[in-house]
């Protein structure tokens, strides 16, 4: 399964996703006083796995893509670091799934063209106007009612992460 089909979840779901051998990612963000020098910090930290017992760890300043070659650890070391980050004030990124997403091997999300593969959820932008957002919540593009409905119908990932009131507005 490609990286486009990997859901970002809250830390509480990691063990279940790993046990089910499903791909997953946790993204934590920190905005606040830096403990070392008292300055202001805006940074992120991510942990991702696919059910094999090893995880990839990456980190960086918010807005950056992080390390060019992420660290690879065993699951337990990754979880220990995750819990340390939570104690240090990191929080799950906005838009993280709080329920296990319905993923299957027939997902069509990876078949979407171009920028649409980066879409993770859709919000309402006005009357019959919708906004497609990426993993960080940034706007990818604006959609018509019909375009938003088609994306939600094609991709289980987008449908799961889109708020229920938007799904209802799309008449699904």
What would the pLDDT profile of 111-137 be if each residue is shown by its tens digit? 666 778 788 899 998 888 999 998 888
CA-CA distance, 30 to 92, in Å (whole number)? Answer: 9
Q: Domains of the chain: which residue ranges? A: 3-92, 109-169
pLDDT value for 132: 92
What's the pTM value of the predicted model, to 2 decimals? 0.56
Interval 35-50: pLDDT, tens: 888 889 999 999 998 8
Beta pairing, strands 54-61 & 71-74:
antiparallel
Beta pairing, strands 121-126 & 91-92:
unpaired
| Position 58 pLDDT exceeds 60 | yes
3-state secondary structure of 114: helix
What are 111's two structure tokens?
């078949």
| Position 4 pLDDT exceeds 50 | no
Place of tokens 């799934």: 97
CA-CA distance, 41 to 33, in Å (whole number)? Answer: 6
| Domain spanning 3-92, CATH architecture | Single Sheet (2.20)
CA-CA distance, 136 to 117, in Å (whole number)? Answer: 14
**Structure-model confidence comparison of residues 8 and 169, the more confident one:** 169
Q: Which of 23-32, 80-89, 102-111, 156-165 comes out lowest in average pLDDT?
A: 102-111
């Amino acid at each position: 399964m490609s990286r486009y089909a990997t859901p970002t979840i809250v830390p509480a779901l990691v063990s279940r996703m790993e046990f089910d051998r499903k791909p997953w990612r946790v993204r934590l963000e920190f905005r606040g006083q830096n403990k070392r020098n008292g300055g202001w910090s805006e940074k992120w930290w991510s942990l991702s796995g696919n059910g094999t017992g090893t995880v990839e760890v990456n980190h960086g300043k918010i807005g950056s893509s992080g390390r060019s070659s992420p660290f690879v650890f065993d699951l337990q070391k990754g979880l220990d670091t995750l819990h340390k980050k939570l104690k240090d004030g990191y929080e799950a990124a906005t838009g993280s799934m709080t329920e296990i997403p319905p993923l299957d091997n027939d997902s069509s999300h990876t078949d979407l063209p171009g920028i649409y593969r980066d879409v993770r959820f859709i919000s309402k932008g006005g009357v019959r106007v919708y906004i497609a957002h990426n993993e960080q919540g940034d706007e990818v593009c604006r959609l018509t009612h019909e375009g938003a409905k088609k994306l939600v119908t094609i991709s289980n990932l987008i449908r799961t992460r889109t708020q229920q009131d938007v799904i209802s507005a799309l008449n699904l």
